[in-house]
Amino acid sequence: MNETEQQAPQKKRATKSGRVVSASMIKSVVVGVDRLVTHPLYKKTIRRTSRFMAHDEKDDCRVGDTVLIGETRPMSKRKRWTVLEVLDRAKS
């Protein structure tokens, strides 16, 4: 392989950690990811939650679990993330 045939370096895919808020689908979960933002006028810190649909191949996530999700190819209309690992199990 010479210099002109080398492939471009792969981009590092984004990862996020959050809490499973819905697990009622087959092989899919909804993960809520919290972030802190400052209000533009009052300067108070506010918690904002974004919801991401993620593919759960093993189907072992339950509501309340803390999971790590990673960016992937589009799997459906809204599903562009996949569950990489379960970081913490919910207390049952």
Q: How confident is the model at residue 11 (pLDDT cuts 50, 70, 90)?
A: confident
13-88 architecture in CATH? Answer: Beta Barrel (2.40)
Distance CA 30, CA 65 (A): 11
pLDDT digits (tens, 9 = 90+) for 51-66: 999 999 999 999 999 9
Does residue 45 surpass a pLDDT of 70?
A: yes
Q: Which residue ranges make up each domain of the chain?
A: 13-88
Q: In whole numbers, what is the pLDDT of the chain averaged over residues? A: 93
1 pLDDT above the threshold of 60: no
pLDDT at 5: 64
Q: Is the pLDDT of residue 78 over 80?
A: yes
Q: Looking at the predicted structure, is the pLDDT value of residue 4 above 70?
A: no
